[in-house]
Amino acid sequence: MRGTDETSGSLFSYVDLEERIPARHPLRKIRQVVNDALASLDAEFAPLYVDFGRPSIAPERLIRASLIQILFSVRSERQLMEQMQYNLMFRWFVGLGIDDPVWVATVFTKNRDRLLTTDMSRKVMAAILAHREVAPLLSDEHFSVDGTLIKAWASMKSFQPKAEVSPPDDEGPDDPPPPSIEPDNQPTQSEPETEPMPRSNHRNRNAEVDFKGEKRSNATHVSTTDPEARLYKKSPGTGAALCFMGHALMENRHGLIVQGDLTQADGHSERRAALDMVHHHSPGSTRRLTLGADKGYDAAQFVSDLREACVTPHVAQKSRYSAIDGRTTRHQGYDLSIKHRKRIEEAFGWAKTVGGMAQTVYRGVERVRSRFILTMAANNLARLPRLLGT
């Protein structure tokens, strides 16, 4: 019998969101880990809010919404709020009921900027890694480190010469203007009743610009859109771009990211960030650790600093003037570290293709850093259902 194509509205709806999600959906395990991690951070959320005033967005829901935005490649908070109007799976993951109103996009962004700082993003990542099912997956001895460029939300046309400091005037800012001397017998000119319409000096904001022959550097130019972005290129043969430098520390057992950081792009930021992440992850460790890295980390000072921190530098050797000698390369563990260190590129690739970090939509080192660390945490969550066999 052929069914009828009729649409009838329902006065009441008895929809249980828990029953709408398949039992073996990967988000179930991810949501369980996230909820347990956020429950352990309850004491961290309490000091951030006062006991009076209008209730804000619950921090647990705000973090879950930010994670679902990264996991499903939602470009903006406005699109995220739009999808949460009709996407039952998004509502279930965030914790909204079928009849709960969705937040205004601007309200969501204001609450997000207040909560998701660099410190809070790191605490969320640490809480996820400390979960009872995730902690046994981590290695506490062998790690790898690398960096990647994160394109800034600024165009090359915004990279303008720095404003020169104007010389001080003879008169102070509070000095009265000099009196105008006019002869008494000079007739005063009356202003015309109607002034001519001023000619428009509007210039097309996307006008063609020829940069050929113009020398630009971070010492003489700065971006008017994001002053903290830097002009940099990581490898020869590629064009320089306004960007930041993202850093990650990976454990070598399952390739999970255990530390993340983001700095301004320069030739020394990778090695500085690597030392900071190692010290932050294992402060005062007396256990001999290993750290795999590419040739960009083969510097005498960096290798010396690692050895002082009780870390064996499994760094790929340069063809000339390498700081890595035979006492490191003769061990079998060196070859294993060089092999496993390349897996960190998978996390960077996921962050750029899925997590939206190929070009950030945020401005300033602090905001981009907090988002980058949260994206690295989301990358770990995306891999957990397969690693845990669910």
Per residue in 112-166, pLDDT tens? 999 999 999 999 999 999 999 999 999 999 999 999 999 999 999 899 998 864 4
What is the per-residue pLDDT for 168? 47
- Residue 307: the pLDDT is 92
C-alpha 87/C-alpha 136 separation (Å) is 34
Of 23-27, 107-111, 208-212, 267-271, the one with minimum mean pLDDT is 208-212
The whole-number average pLDDT for the span 18-43 is 94
* Rounded Cα gap, residues 69 and 29, in angstroms: 17
| pLDDT (average), residues 325-346 | 91
Contact 248, 150 (CB under 8 A): no
Q: How many C-beta atoms lie closer than 10 Å to residue 137's C-beta?
A: 18
Q: Compute the distance between CA of residue 285 and CA of residue 281 in angstroms, rounded to an integer.
A: 9
CB 104 within 8 A of CB 81: yes
Residue 282 has pLDDT above 90, yes or no: no
3-state secondary structure of 93: helix
- 167 — pLDDT class (breaks 50, 70, 90): very low
Higher-pLDDT residue of 321, 248: 248
Per-residue pLDDT at 193: 55
> What's the pLDDT band for 352 if we cut at 50, 70, 90?
very high
Range 342-360 average pLDDT? 96
- Best mean pLDDT range from 20-24, 33-37, 206-210, 328-332: 33-37
Q: What is the pLDDT of residue 226?
A: 95
Could you give the count of Cα atoms lying within 13 Å of 244 in the half-sphere of its Cβ? 30
Q: 21-30, 156-165, 244-253, 307-316 — which is least confidently predicted?
A: 156-165
| pTM for the full predicted model | 0.85
Going from the C-alpha of 324 to that of each of 66, 84, 277, 292, 315, the distances in angstroms are: 42, 53, 21, 12, 7
**pLDDT tens digits, 355-390:** 999 999 999 999 999 999 999 999 999 999 999 986
**178 or 26: whose pLDDT is higher?**
26
Q: What single string gives the DSSP state of each residue in 233-257?
A: -SSTTS--EEEEEEEEEEETTT--E
User: What is the topology classification, in CATH, of domain 138-156+231-366?
Assistant: Nucleotidyltransferase; domain 5 (3.30.420)
Bigger pLDDT: 203 vs 143: 143
Q: Where in the chain are all domains bearing CATH 3.30.420? A: 138-156+231-366
In one letter, which amino acid is 272? R
The pLDDT score that the predictor gives to residue 172 is: 45
